[in-house]
Structure 1
Amino acid sequence: MSGADAGGAPGRGGLRTRDDGGRRLVHDPVRRRWVALTPEERVRQELLLDLVALGYPVGLLAVEKGLAYRGLSWRADVVAYGRDGRARLLAECKAPGVAIGQKTFDQLARYNAVLDAPALVVDNGAARYCCVRDGAGWRFVDALPAFGEGESR
């Protein structure tokens, strides 16, 4: 994103970026720190902006949330929680140009075996797929659910 000053002013799209010794950094409002602005991080930060615009409180979002599944440690890119403390949305972000395929959905399913979120998102900046629990199955939807949608489960 261009347009951010060294003080971290919002750039185009609302991301706060700055240069630090030749490295481009972005301020992560969830982790409350500056992180390297990699292509995948840009996708993650843009998703966070969209979630906040849909009413998700920053305090109920987690980034790179550690999970244990079948004795292995994993990190979910973004988890949005409801006010009840339950995971409401789980997202996996990939860098632009990284194809979204079955492996990505399988990765998300592993994470969701732990979190049991009713909304799943895969995003690579060029394509964003969102599905929501629909009875015993899943249904793809055109947009991210707003905060509080589907809270009664």
Structure 2
Amino acid sequence: MDNKTAFRIRTNEGKKEIYDTIRKRFVLLTQEEMVRQAYIAYLLQEVKVPEILISVEKKITYNTLSKRYDIVVANPNGTILIAVECKAESVNLNEDSLSQLALYNAELQAKYLVLFNGKQQIVFQKKDNSYTLISTLPPYEKMLL
């Protein structure tokens, strides 16, 4: 993943903020937020996902648990294609990260699952009711086939 995006960063009341192109506003710049914005740029520029089909940090409820997913990509009819869990670069991707993504996916039922920490990307594709590890996301148009 070669990201050459120039991010809009500002200081507001002594705190750094980054502009989120999906939410159309500045948000607090944390390590995880930087990773999230880098992955959004990757989805837009490399995977060619239409911006309108990406949602960021929306609430989902699974049983009685209320959680927020990081990034979700839908297809034009609203079916979830990709669920992305972002972690700060300092966080290793491990079973806890995967468990968190699996919990969200119990509700989302995405075709592709992604764990990303800015250094490492782990991608799974749903095939025959199970998930298989793949090297990278295919282009968005191929996901629709």
Tell me the TM-score normalized by structure 2: 0.91
Counterpart-to-counterpart distance in 2, 1:85 and 1:95? 29
Query: In terms of Rg, which structure is larger?
Result: 1
Letter in 1 for 2:141: G
- Please list every run of 5 or more consecutive structure 2 residues that lacks an aligned counterpart in the other structure: none
Tell me the percent identity: 33
Alignment size in residue pairs? 141
Q: TM-score, normalised by structure 1?
A: 0.86
| Corresponding residue of 2:140 | 147
How far apart in 2 are the matches of 1:99 and 1:63? 22
Which of the residues 15, 22, 30 maps onto 2:22? 30
Task: Return the alpha-carbon distance in structure 2 between the equivalents of residues 36 and 133 of structure 1.
Answer: 33
Question: Relative contact order, CA 8 A, sep 6+: which one is greater?
Answer: 2
Secondary structure of the residue aligned to 1:111 is: helix
C-alpha RMSD over aligned residues: 1.3
Residue equivalent to 2:111: 118
Of 17, 20, 24, which residue of structure 1 is paired with 2:9?
A: 17
CA distances 1:111-152 after superposition (whole Å, capped 9, x unpaired): 111111100000111211111112232121222232132324
Residue pair 1:14, 1:49 contacting (<8 A) in 2 also: no
Q: 2: CA distance between counterparts of 1:103 and 1:149?
A: 30
Structure 1 residue runs of 4+, over 4 Å off?
none
| Structure 1: 5+ residue stretches without partners | 1-11
